[in-house]
Structure 1
Amino acid sequence: MDEPPPDQAALLARSDGPVTRGRLVRDLSALGLGEGDTVMFHTRMSALGYVAGGPPALIGALLDTVGERGTLMVTCGWNDALPYDFTGWPRPWQDAVRAEHPAYDPELSEADHDNGRLPEALRRWPGAVRSRHPDVSCAALGAEAAALTDDHPWDDPHGPGSPLARLVALGGRVLMLGAPLETLTLLHHAEALADAPGKRFVEYEQPVLDDGGRRVWRRFRDIDSSGGAFDYSSVTPGGQDPFETIARDMLAAGTGIRGRVGAADSHIFEAAEVLDFGLAWIEERLNGPH
């Protein structure tokens, strides 16, 4: 994710000068990102300072750092997806969108604006590919891009066989570039796998393209990644976001690397460690006495 950036003067005042592509490469390398890494990244651009060249400069720096054998991945979603509750709209409204709402198209449909500018920039990058799921699509660029995104499961799209599961299987990493810890999307994979009471699910419909390129309506089922897959209120302090709580506990336990990229407090996590820690955290706290 990122935020609408402040003006350039404010960004420059926050840091010790423009954050150039070369500086980004140096900072990313110092943080621990390296040649051949498969990495899912989350970014708050405004936290980095004034990035000379904006998102293309950052993507270029990431590509320089991971090299030809490396791979970048982001979560995209679909900005113009119908809301889950559109089936409660007045019948004429429902009829209109069922008749004419465009199908999700991995090549054309915009990434969710709430995820910031980087997902949209990466999915448009020459050679990038994007998964087929209309609600939780991911885009990837590099050596393992197809292996991460092909045949994204229609149902349980955060679970087995998802791009998140494949990131773990490929020994991937997660990079948080000034992004809030609550945006650690990989923890949705832990939620999907967790054996704990009260798991919440959603079912919804979206128009997609079939194998012949025709627009069809399809029904989907997933954990409730928007409203919350579980009620964490009894196990999180002071209403803190549960993903932030899990990530802070993970860092306190010695999992993850912390450093600076540009002006931003940033982190690298091993994807397998995030999954293992998150899964144990959820199951221990939600299954045990509290």
Structure 2
Amino acid sequence: MCGSGSELRSPDGSSSTAYRGHTDDDLRALGVVPGDVLLVHSSVQSLGFVAGGVQAVVEALLSAVGPEGTLVVPTHTSENTDPAGWQDPPVPEQWWPVIRSETPGFDPARTPSRWVGVLSEVVRTWPGALRSGHPQVSCAALGARAREVTVEHDLAESHGERSPIGAVYRLGGRVLLLGCGHDSNTSLHLAERRQAAPPMGETGAAISDADGTSRWVTWTDLMTGEEDFDRLGAAFEETGAVTLGQVGSAAARLMDQRSLVDFAVDWMSRNRCEVDVDAAGS
């Protein structure tokens, strides 16, 4: 399925390690087992050369979890957000109403994912894939539990209990970081949502109604923040709960999602506690 050679020659004659071993063998050696509900965040290019490219990687993941398992990926649409909050780059205020009125409504079958990697987009379009209905942070799934993962995605529970991330937690799933770090670990947002007083704010997106028309909706949801996710992930790894290995040329991390989220809830409650000293002394 994947390239077995360890060395390729570039046009200038130099050599580089492009791929080591077989992707499916590497996944099994890491600890992925049949029946897993596996939430994958990935950077496919970090794998190096794989014969068959991203299609072969998806097939290897499906082979590793087997027919009783389920592959889950983020299929986020981060551009379908309120332009008033855009920063990279910002857009003129006079554009805001035009963007809100003209953006096509989110359609799980048609709207492509953005900024979550080519593997997620290939899974989204794979025969039999199901996708949740959130206009900003949907997930797609393939396999035995795909419907359970994607059937419920409450608008105001982007990363909460009524989301695919919450479903993976209930199903005892695992997280695989394939060539990326904890700053991409979406499950940590569930821990944010479970805080005693999570930061909430208004957001908006274009959605598609049953008749195909689009409309702009607003709602109150979690205001996420990934700034400390790498530090949190490093602390979790220090507990020994993460299996570290290599898939192809990529560093890989495999972990139990419940253990991760439970650890993160406690870690955030201790490390994100901000005390207003002046107010406390008044």
Q: Normalised by the size of structure 1, how large is the TM-score?
A: 0.82
The answer (yes or no) to whether the contact 2:101–2:215 under 8 Å persists in 1 is: no
* Aligned counterpart, 2:31: 32
**Aligned counterparts of 1:201 and 1:14: Cα–Cα separation in 2:** 48
Partner residue of 1:256 out of 233, 236, 242: 242
The answer (yes or no) to whether the contact 2:139–2:150 under 8 Å persists in 1 is: yes
Unmatched runs of 5 consecutive residues or more in structure 2 = 1-7, 276-282
Is residue 185 from structure 1 mapped to residue 186 from structure 2 by the alignment?
yes
1:92-125 per-residue CA deviation (whole Å, 9 max, x = no partner) reads: x34433443211111111101x211111111011
The answer (yes or no) to whether the contact 1:80–1:109 under 8 Å persists in 2 is: no
Letter in 1 for 2:264: G
* Aligned counterpart, 1:56: 55
Is residue 174 from structure 1 mapped to residue 160 from structure 2 by the alignment?
no
The answer (yes or no) to whether the contact 2:101–2:216 under 8 Å persists in 1 is: no
The answer (yes or no) to whether the contact 2:188–2:264 under 8 Å persists in 1 is: yes
SS class of match (1:40): strand
**Aligned counterparts of 2:31 and 2:250: Cα–Cα separation in 1:** 15
Is residue 244 from structure 1 mapped to residue 230 from structure 2 by the alignment?
yes
Is residue 270 from structure 1 mapped to residue 256 from structure 2 by the alignment?
yes
Identity fraction in percent: 33
1:149-186 per-residue CA deviation (whole Å, 9 max, x = no partner) reads: 11301013111211111101001000011112221110
Worse overlay, 204-213 or 184-193: 204-213
Distance 1:128 1:8, change over 3 A: farther
- Structure 1 residue 286: deviation in Å? 2.9
**Aligned counterparts of 1:147 and 1:223: Cα–Cα separation in 2:** 23
- Structure 1 residue 90: deviation in Å? 4.2
**Aligned counterparts of 1:13 and 1:220: Cα–Cα separation in 2:** 53
* Aligned counterpart, 1:282: 268
SS class of match (1:115): coil
Is residue 41 from structure 1 mapped to residue 43 from structure 2 by the alignment?
no
**Aligned counterparts of 1:182 and 1:13: Cα–Cα separation in 2:** 32
**Aligned counterparts of 2:266 and 2:81: Cα–Cα separation in 1:** 34
**Aligned counterparts of 2:67 and 2:205: Cα–Cα separation in 1:** 36
Distance 1:104 1:45, change over 3 A: same
- Structure 1 residue 89: deviation in Å? 4.4
Distance 1:143 1:250, change over 3 A: same
**Aligned counterparts of 1:224 and 1:8: Cα–Cα separation in 2:** 47
Letter in 1 for 2:48: G
- Structure 1 residue 283: deviation in Å? 0.8
Aligned residue runs from structure 1 range 1-290, under 5 A? 9=10, 13-15=15-17, 17-18=18-19, 23-78=22-77, 80-85=79-84, 89-91=92-94, 93-112=95-114, 114-195=115-196, 199-225=198-224, 228=225, 241-287=227-273
Letter in 2 for 1:56: Q
**Aligned counterparts of 1:59 and 1:170: Cα–Cα separation in 2:** 21
- Structure 1 residue 214: deviation in Å? 3.3
Unmatched runs of 5 consecutive residues or more in structure 1 = 1-6, 230-240
SS class of match (1:39): strand
1:48-101 per-residue CA deviation (whole Å, 9 max, x = no partner) reads: 11122221110000011111111111111115424441798444x344334432
Letter in 1 for 2:140: A
SS class of match (2:272): helix
The answer (yes or no) to whether the contact 2:81–2:203 under 8 Å persists in 1 is: no
Letter in 2 for 1:49: G
**How many residues end up aligned between the 2 structures?**
263
The Cα RMSD (Å) is 2.6
* Aligned counterpart, 2:3: none
- Structure 1 residue 285: deviation in Å? 2.3
In terms of fraction of residues, the more helix-rich structure is 1
- Structure 1 residue 27: deviation in Å? 0.4
**Aligned counterparts of 1:36 and 1:44: Cα–Cα separation in 2:** 23
SS class of match (1:206): strand
The answer (yes or no) to whether the contact 1:80–1:110 under 8 Å persists in 2 is: no
Q: Normalised by the size of structure 2, how large is the TM-score?
A: 0.85
